[in-house]
Amino acid sequence: MRANLIAALIGMLCVVGCGGGGSSVGGGGGGTPSGANVQPVTVDSGPSPVATSNSPAVNTLYTTVRVCVPGTSTCQDIDHIQVDTGSSGLRIITTALTLSLPLQKDSNGNVVAECTQFVDGSSWGPFRLADIKISGEIASNQAVQIIYDPAYPIQTAYACGTGTTPANPVQAFGANGILGVGPFLQDCGSSCVQGGGGVYYTCTSGTACTTGGMPLALQITNPVAAFATDNNGVLIQLGAVGGTASSVSGSLIFGIGTQGNNGLGNAKVFTFNQSGNLSTTYKNTSLSRGFIDSGSNAYYFTDPTIHVCGISGETTKAPGFFCPSGTLNLSATIMGGNGTSSAINFNVTNADSLFGTGSVIAAASDLAGSSASITTASLNGAFDWGLPFYFGRSVYTAIENQNTSAGLGPYFAF
């Protein structure tokens, strides 16, 4: 199973009454980089009305993306697009989009649509074509999924939701969309070429859609790979967070070893194992399903010795997150398919205490949850290194089959 299809929306798990404090933290590692391949990113409370609700986003990495009608200067800047290294392709909530973009169609003239399965739900919508512009980079004529597009309403027959659109989809989603810059070229790849598997659909009308195989050329793809240059991966740099912060700033840098600002330096390279993941050893148990994912808002793993908030019936503001009696100092070792390993020390705090301070926080470095509680993606036994892993680090994501200074992707490096 491709990790990028199961990871992205963990980062959408917002909790009621999130609290904390702190100040904005600058980009990681010796000043803010500059260049045509550098895009500012931020961790904040989310787009309105998310940021003004009593359920602000937590540990969600955002940026602004410009989308244009293909081949024209008719464009729109959309802010608070989540940056996700656990998926591929750009997805936009329909209420955030004011442009009229052309639909993508197959060779028979049918509209291409997708039911994307994420950790805590799914997203349904057709593909429309756009030029994607980020910093000085352009990916031309790319398929973009428009989530909750009213011309293609959700139907329960698609096994992609309840059949109803949320009253406020941006608030429900926690972002205006998702920018998937993960290690894979497509979001489904060869497994969806022959059979649909309930992922890809062709539609003769907004309510008449049939699942089936989809050629790679029509699947939604990682827009970075379509750039003319700096197209082999991304580097995310975020400032360190000591506990909590009201915002964190950083940079999304395109390319690996293509410019003076994106060289690997002393970073260790971790290639993938046969299952397309990294291995993680935690408390003497080796887990073959490990991944680094900026779209997850916490560390997620299974540990029956750590109390899960609300599991005993107590009132909780953070169901599914860990609530130990005191802050835990833990360690786990990440290992790549190439044998490279690194021991990572991290803390786990009581999520109820964290969210009960009465202040709004955007970043929490010690937030963790039980992967066993996320049943929709069957992540029990996996180790998800979410956004807290990125705080204070430079983390590289190399795209599959793209050449880099350390060889072909996919791999992570830090």
The last residue of one of the domains, among 226, 244, 265, is 226
Specify the number of domains making up the chain.
2
Q: 73 and 144, same structural domain?
A: yes
Burial group, residue 328, by CB count within 10 angstroms (0-12, 13-18, 19+): middle
Q: String of b and e for 390-404 (b: at least 16 CB within 10 Å)? A: bbbbbbbbbbbebeb
Task: Confirm if 310 and 255 have CB atoms less than 8 A apart.
Answer: no
> Of 226, 258, 285, which closes a domain?
226
Are 16 and 55 in contact, with CB atoms under 8 Å apart? yes
Domain boundary among 202, 226, 250: 226
Judgement on whether residues 275 and 207 belong to the same structural domain of the protein = no
Do residue 91 and residue 117 come from a single domain? yes
The two three-digit tokens of residue 120, written as one number:
């805590």
CA angle centred on 270, ends 265 and 276, rounded to 5°: 145
Domain that holds residue 263: 233-413
Same domain flag for 304 and 322: yes
Q: Quick one: what percent of the chain has pLDDT higher than 70?
A: 85
The verdict on 222 and 237 lying in the same domain is no
Reduced to 3 states (helix: H, G, I; strand: E, B; else coil), residue 262 is coil
Domain identity same for 187 and 242: no
Q: Do residues 274 and 139 both lie within one domain?
A: no
Residue 154 CA to residue 121 CA, distance in Å, equals: 13
Question: What is the edge-to-edge ordering of all strands in the sheet holding 341-348?
Answer: 341-348, 328-335, 278-282, 285-292, 383-385, 299-301, 368-370
281 shares its domain with 194? no
Say which residues have a Cβ less than 8 Å from residue 230's Cβ, sequence separation at least 6. Answer: 37, 137, 224, 254, 255, 258, 259, 262
In single-letter form, the type of residue at position 388 comes to P
Strand partners, 179: 83, 90
DSSP for 55-124 reads S---S-EEEEEEEE-TTSS-EEEEEEEEEETTSEEEEEEGGG--S-PPBPB-TTSPEEEEEEEETTEEEE
Q: Which of 114, 93, 94 is nearest to 159 (CA)?
A: 114
Question: Is residue 211 located within the same domain as residue 276?
Answer: no
pLDDT mean values, one per 10 residues, the chain (414 residues) = 33 31 37 89 85 69 98 98 96 96 97 81 89 98 95 78 73 90 94 83 92 94 98 97 94 97 97 92 93 95 94 87 96 97 98 82 94 64 94 98 96 98
Cα–Cα distances (Å) from 380 to 28, 85, 287, in that order, read 32, 20, 10
Same domain, residue pair 159 and 241: no
CB 264, CB 405: distance < 8 Å: yes
pLDDT in tens, 248-274: 999 999 999 999 999 999 999 999 998
pTM of the predicted structure, to 2 decimals: 0.90
Long-range interactions of 96-99: CB distance < 8 A, separation 24+: 96/47, 96/170, 96/176, 96/177, 97/67, 97/146, 99/67, 99/68, 99/69, 99/74, 99/75, 99/130
Same domain, 269 and 172: no
Contact between 338 and 321 under an 8 Å Cβ cutoff? The reply is no
DSSP state of 217: G
- What single DSSP character describes residue 186? B
Does residue 211 sit in the same domain as residue 265?
Answer: no
